[in-house]
Amino acid sequence: MLDVDPYDALQKLRPVGAFTVTSTDFVDGGPLARPQWSHAAGGVDRSPQLSWSGFPERTRGFAVTCLDVDAPSGSGWWHWAVLNLPLETTSLEAGVGAPGGPPLPDGAMVLANEDGVHGFGGAAPPRGTGEHRYVFVVHALDVPSLELDPASTPAVLGIRCFSHALARGILTGTVNRD
């Protein structure tokens, strides 16, 4: 477990309730498994398995994001942004939505990550930048879906989640290539 509160990285977000997010691929505060690393860093760009529970009864839908809050960009680096997950979705299989992987639920949409790919972009922190935290957030929303242009950025999704979030579940993985 990290000594740092994962909300520190999200401190500008409106405070809301919390719920549990787990993964069979990594533990909170622990290293991401090699498949969650970028192909360029020796991985396979496979999104991790995620499960969540304990979200508010008023929840109508979900979004999932992954941000490297330690990227040397001044604004982080978006690795994944999935929206319009239906209420009955309480887990995502590893590799969901990738070519040849398990399908996303009907109506779900993946926005382009910072590499311009509509899918999960694995971890590949630049050497010499120390340990990076990859913050996976499941947003419990008060609406079943968000109307976004498929060309929208993960930051636009973040603004919409800011307005519609009832609670957030956070799971943080780390990678250090030094």
| Terminal-residue alpha carbon distance, the chain | 21
Q: What is the pLDDT of residues 132-152, one digit of tens each?
A: 999 999 999 999 999 999 999
Q: How far apart are CA 46 and CA 34, in angstroms?
A: 9
- Over 70: is that where the pLDDT of 4 sits? no
The domain locations on the chain are 6-175
Give me the amino acid identity at 10. Answer: L
* Contact status, residue 167 vs residue 138, Cβ threshold 8 Å: no
Render pLDDT for 25-78 as a digit per residue (tens, 0 to 9): 999 999 999 999 999 999 999 999 999 999 999 999 999 999 999 999 888 999
Distance, CA of 21 to CA of 33 (rounded, Å): 17
Q: Which CATH superfamily is domain 6-175 in?
A: PEBP-like (3.90.280.10)
What pLDDT band is residue 93 in, cutting at 50, 70 and 90?
very high
